């Protein structure tokens, strides 16, 4: 059995049938959390996805796939997603019934995100849908993202620094028209039924040609808002360690998380085909190599696993053997075995991914790879990866908390 795993990991080719089976079973076991975006056309939904994921505008536009008659989804990363954005298009332009989209979201971790231009007060279509959603699911949190703030700036105005919208001491610096418009939308938000958390975050997510700096104004507040109203851990899934500044490492992190979570989901399934998880891991290594401008061939795989050392690889094999045997024990294997399988699958995949990033980074810079450093990185990542199983569980809704009062026009004077 160990020889089969070793051959799979050292083989640069991935069986597309096995890969499709692995991803399908993982998604069925644990679908990615859904961020349901509600907003009119041109409200800034795509700009928000771009800011959160770091994906290009064209990449996002080409990545949407229809899932209901009125909505499309965008998975990120596309093959082993850590998050799914559900975009309901054409609100205000069609007679929209949210029932089908509600059914699509039910049973998955979720956050409803209403995206509105700050200057656009004609939002009845969006509010109608939000009222329907909250009557049916009163505990679902709603995040209101108020966009395109610069449309209510005076000519030649720049963004206010620091970001002032949740600090009453800075309220007087906000332009009067902008403050009034934001306050009106936030008042409607407060009127939604239900007990789930409500929060509004004003942002301005622009392109370079718009001439505003920073281009992702309010992005950190948006991240904080998502973390406050949901338990999805989305920032950790998409960005990883706060101290990581390397662009390649940041781009690689969601791919590592996606494949690790898929491996965790597969690892929890009793009697799962043990070839599926190594197939996922090889695909992850190929994806990472592509990010760094390499091909994951047999020579590179042999060098990488050789540097990791026989001890790491022997432990890898023993974990899989133990996982398989424990999970076949009736009753006991369905509980302890599933937890062990999910944790081990995620940890090994996460460890391999982070170690591969170090290896590929050194290779891309023409530098030698230190075997001790590689093993240390793998070991540290493995220990962090054991905790990833918690992301494979369904996120619990947050308890209700009051919405901070919106800024009144008088406060903005």
CA-wise closest residue to 28 among 299, 266, 320: 266
Q: What is the pLDDT of residue 346?
A: 87
Assess whether 89 and 38 both reside in one domain. Answer: yes
pTM: 0.82
Q: Is residue 118 part of a domain?
A: yes
Assess whether 182 and 275 both reside in one domain. Answer: no
CA-wise closest residue to 80 among 280, 324, 267, 219: 280
Residue with token string 């990033």: 357
Assess whether 130 and 150 both reside in one domain. Answer: yes
Q: Is residue 412 part of a domain?
A: no
Assess whether 355 and 303 both reside in one domain. Answer: yes
Q: Is residue 278 part of a domain?
A: yes
Q: Is residue 413 part of a domain?
A: no
- Contact between 84 and 35 (Cβ < 8 Å): yes
Overall number of domains in the chain: 2
Q: Is residue 370 part of a domain?
A: yes
Q: Is residue 408 part of a domain?
A: no
Tokens of 324: 């398989």
Assess whether 100 and 8 both reside in one domain. Answer: no
Residue 131 CB coordination number (10 Å): 15
Assess whether 167 and 313 both reside in one domain. Answer: no
Q: CATH number, domain at 209?
A: 3.40.50.300
Assess whether 87 and 179 both reside in one domain. Answer: yes
Q: Is residue 14 part of a domain?
A: yes
Residue 332, classed as helix, strand or coil, is helix
Assess whether 204 and 324 both reside in one domain. Answer: no
Domain boundary among 189, 215, 231: 231
Assess whether 191 and 248 both reside in one domain. Answer: no
Domain boundary among 214, 231, 248: 231
Residue 90, classed as helix, strand or coil, is coil
Q: What is the pLDDT of residue 270?
A: 67
Residue with token string 């091909």: 295
Give the whole-angstrom CA distance, residue 387 versus residue 383: 7
Q: What is the pLDDT of residue 399?
A: 35
Let me know if 255 is exposed, middle or buried by CB neighbors in 10 A (0-12, 13-18, 19+). Answer: buried
Assess whether 328 and 298 both reside in one domain. Answer: yes
Q: How many residues does the chain have?
A: 413
Give the whole-angstrom CA distance, residue 312 versus residue 314: 6
Q: For residue 342, what are the CA distances in angstroms to 261, 350, 402?
A: 9, 12, 37
Q: Is residue 403 part of a domain?
A: no
Assess whether 118 and 168 both reside in one domain. Answer: yes
| Structural domain containing residue 94 | 34-231
Question: Phi, psi (5° rounding) for residue 364?
Answer: -65, -25
- Contact between 120 and 42 (Cβ < 8 Å): no
As averages over each run of 10 residues, the pLDDT of the chain (413 residues) reads: 59 82 86 92 92 84 85 91 89 81 83 96 94 94 97 93 94 95 97 96 94 95 94 85 68 93 83 76 92 89 85 55 43 38 80 93 92 92 81 41 38 41
Let me know if 153 is exposed, middle or buried by CB neighbors in 10 A (0-12, 13-18, 19+). Answer: middle
Tokens of 207: 């392109």
Assess whether 189 and 88 both reside in one domain. Answer: yes
């Amino acid at each position: 059995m160990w020889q089969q795993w070793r051959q799979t990991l050292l083989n640069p080719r991935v069986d597309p049938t096995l890969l499709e089976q692995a991803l399908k079973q993982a998604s069925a076991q644990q679908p990615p959390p859904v961020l349901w975006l509600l907003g009119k056309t041109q409200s800034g939904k795509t700009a928000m996805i771009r800011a959160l994921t770091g994906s290009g505008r064209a990449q996002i536009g080409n990545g949407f796939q229809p899932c209901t008659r009125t909505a499309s989804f965008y998975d990120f990363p596309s093959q082993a997603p850590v998050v799914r954005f559900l975009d309901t298009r054409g609100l205000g332009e069609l007679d929209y019934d949210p029932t089908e989209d509600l059914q699509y979201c039910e049973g998955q971790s979720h956050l409803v995100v209403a995206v509105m231009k700050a200057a656009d007060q004609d939002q009845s279509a969006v509010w109608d849908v939000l009222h329907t959603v909250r009557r049916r699911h009163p505990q679902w949190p709603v995040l209101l993202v108020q966009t395109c703030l610069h449309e209510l700036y005076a000519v030649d105005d720049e963004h206010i620094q620091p970001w002032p919208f949740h600090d009453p001491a800075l309220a007087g610096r906000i332009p009067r028209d902008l403050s009034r418009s934001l306050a009106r939308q936030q008042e409607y938000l407060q009127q939604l039924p239900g007990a789930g958390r409500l929060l509004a975050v004003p942002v301005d997510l622009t392109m370079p040609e718009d001439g505003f700096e920073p281009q992702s104004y309010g992005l950190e507040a948006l991240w904080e808002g998502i973390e406050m109203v949901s338990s999805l851990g989305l920032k950790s899934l998409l960005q990883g360690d706060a101290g990581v500044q390397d662009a390649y490492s940041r781009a690689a992190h969601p791919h590592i998380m996606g494949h690790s979570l898929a491996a965790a989901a597969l690892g929890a399934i009793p009697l799962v085909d043990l070839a599926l998880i190594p197939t996922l891991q090889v695909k992850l290594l190929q994806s990472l190599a592509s990010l760094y401008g390499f091909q994951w061939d047999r020579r590179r795989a042999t060098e990488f696993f050789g540097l990791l050392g026989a001890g790491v690889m022997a432990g890898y094999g023993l974990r899989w053997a133990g996982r398989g045997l424990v999970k076949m024990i009736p009753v006991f294997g369905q509980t302890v075995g599933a937890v062990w399988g999910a944790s081990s699958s995620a940890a090994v995949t996460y460890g391999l991914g982070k170690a591969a990033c170090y290896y590929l980074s050194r290779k891309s810079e023409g530098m030698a790879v230190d075997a001790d450093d590689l093993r240390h990185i793998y070991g540290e990542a493995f220990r962090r990866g054991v905790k990833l199983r918690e992301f494979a569980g369904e996120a619990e809704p947050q308890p209700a908390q009051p919405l901070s009062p919106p800024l009144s026009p008088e406060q903005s004077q």
